[in-house]
Amino acid sequence: MSRNVVTFHYTLRDPQGRLLDTSAGGQAISYLEGAGQIIDGLDEALHGVAPGTKQTVHVPAAKAYGEHDESQVQRVLKALLPVEGDLKPGDQFRAGEDQFSPIVRVVEVEGDEVLLDANHPLAGIDLTFEVEVVSVRAASEEEVTHGHAHQGEDHGKGGCGNHDCGCK
Ligand code: ZN
């Protein structure tokens, strides 16, 4: 079965209607269908869309960034953290040395201890996307093999923006 690369603009809001993120004024997002490049709920909702489609998509937390997991909230000694200086609620930092270490968020600071939350900031939040589909095209063989969309006017035969699969 052939697969498509979909390019779209989006505006993301929480259940209170607050703006969380938007691609408006920036570059549209391209993804390979069914490749896990965007959250599952959005991938499913946009399956088979036509270019020019404007659609509001509600994605429950479980199909977005997951439910909030209490076991990911932990109290740790400040002295054990890889950060200098004072911490305050809302601060974020990587929990380890390498670039793949999870990002944790400071919930509260109590004396020598810090309450940290390693959940994704959008975990537990039902999301609403206002989507405008810019284009839909068949994915190239290379894109299907790589499992992601390639950027550029040459429709996937050339550039690869942001990964290290070796295709340039
Ligand atoms: Zn690639």
Q: What is the pTM of this model?
A: 0.78
What is residue 156's predicted lDDT score, i.e. its pLDDT?
44
Q: How do the domains of the chain map onto residue ranges?
A: 4-65+123-146, 70-117
Q: How far is the CA of 162 from the centre of ligand 1 (A)?
A: 9
Q: Tell me, which fold does domain 70-117 have in CATH? A: Thrombin, subunit H (2.40.10)
DSSP string, 44-96: HHTTTPPTT-EEEEEE-GGGTT----GGGEEEEEGGGSS--S---TT-EEESS
> Does residue 24 carry a pLDDT above 90?
yes
CA of 6 to the centre of ligand 1 (A): 16
| CA–centroid distance, residue 103 to ligand 1 (Å) | 26
User: Cα(36) to centroid of ligand 1, in Å?
Assistant: 14
157 pLDDT higher than 50: no
- Range 78-81 contact pairs with CB under 8 angstroms and sequence separation of 24 or more: 78/109, 78/112, 78/113, 78/114, 79/112, 81/114
According to the CATH classification, is domain 4-65+123-146 in 3.10.50.40? yes
Q: Span 98-126, mean pLDDT? A: 92
